[in-house]
């Protein structure tokens, strides 16, 4: 009898310990997911302000966004370059832009899980943001659609672009955030 109680008690302790461990893991995942979603929302907000307020405003004064902006005093960076330049300033996590048919190969998804997530977004407009664990990182993707014709025109006519048939509204790629698991 005593032995049965002892065994039951240790099973109970084991169960409690493992459920605590599981809830800690879930809590950790949830906070990573929230962090990634907040970062994506912030990047999208800054990018919108850059495109709508800054780019539109300077165009009235004859300044245009251009890929080779650094060689031209009357040009500013493209919004994709703005996001990537901000990403280059970050030390604790990665921020970038990816596409399945990117202008430059260095903007391809870095892993199969990223490619799969992008394909999932491609297949359904319901997936605007996707978050997932991938190796020793936790990642988030925010869908990047051709909201204006200029996105389509530039990508379709860019000499390095492998895809020439984008239409307005198409998914062109995604903003990606990669944070390291502790
Ligand atoms: C004037 C040309 C131009 C315009 C306009 C433009 N892009 Fe791009 N885009 C580029 C170039 C060049 C790159 C590669 C930049 C780099 O990584 O150095 C790029 C990169 C990207 C990427 C990363 C994957 C890839 O295809 O290389 C995405 C996604 C993207 N752009 C989406 C958009 C969207 C959405 C718009 C409209 C809101 C847009 N672009 C407008 C030229 C343009």
pLDDT, position 30:
82
The residue whose C-alpha atom lies closest to atom 36 belonging to ligand 1 is 151
Q: Which residues contact 47 (CB under 8 A, 6 or more apart)?
A: 79, 82, 83, 175
Extract the runs of DSSP E, i.e. beta strands, from the chain: 64-65, 75-76, 93-98, 129-134, 137-145, 171-180
* Predicted confidence (pLDDT) per residue in 118-173, tens digit: 999 999 999 999 999 999 999 999 999 999 999 999 999 999 999 999 999 999 99
Domain boundaries, the chain: 2-180
From residue 59, how far is each of 51, 66, 78, 168 by CA, in Å?
11, 12, 13, 22
Ligand 1 lining (C-beta closer than 6 Å): 67, 78, 80-81, 84, 97-99, 102-104, 107, 144, 146-148, 150-151, 154-155, 172-173
- What token pair was written down for 137? 């990182």
The residue whose C-alpha atom lies closest to atom 7 belonging to ligand 1 is 151
- What token pair was written down for 34? 């929230």
Mutate to test the pocket of ligand 1, among 78, 82, 110, 171 (most ligand atoms within 8 A of CB): 78
pTM of the model: 0.86
Contact between 117 and 129 under an 8 Å Cβ cutoff? The reply is: no
* Predicted confidence (pLDDT) per residue in 13-50, tens digit: 544 454 444 444 545 568 999 999 999 999 999 999 99
pLDDT, position 6:
61
* Predicted confidence (pLDDT) per residue in 51-98, tens digit: 999 999 999 999 999 999 999 999 999 999 999 999 999 999 999 999
pLDDT, position 9:
55
């Amino acid at each position: 009898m005593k032995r049965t109680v002892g065994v039951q008690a240790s099973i109970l302790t084991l169960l409690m310990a493992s459920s605590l461990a599981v809830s800690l893991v879930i809590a950790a995942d949830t906070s990573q997911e929230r962090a990634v979603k907040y970062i994506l929302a912030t990047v999208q907000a800054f990018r919108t302000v850059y495109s709508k307020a800054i780019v539109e405003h300077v165009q009235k004064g004859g300044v245009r966004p251009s890929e080779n902006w650094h060689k031209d005093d009357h040009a500013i960076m493209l919004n994709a370059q703005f996001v990537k330049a901000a990403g280059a300033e970050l030390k604790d996590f990665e921020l970038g832009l990816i596409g399945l048919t990117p202008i430059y190969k260095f903007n391809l998804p870095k892993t199969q899980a990223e490619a799969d997530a992008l394909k999932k977004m491609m297949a359904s407009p319901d997936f605007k943001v996707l978050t997932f664990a991938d190796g020793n990182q936790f990642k988030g993707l925010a869908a990047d659609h051709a909201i204006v014709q200029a996105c389509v025109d530039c990508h379709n006519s860019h000499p390095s672009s492998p895809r020439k048939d984008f239409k307005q509204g198409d998914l062109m790629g995604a903003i990606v955030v990669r944070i390291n698991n502790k």
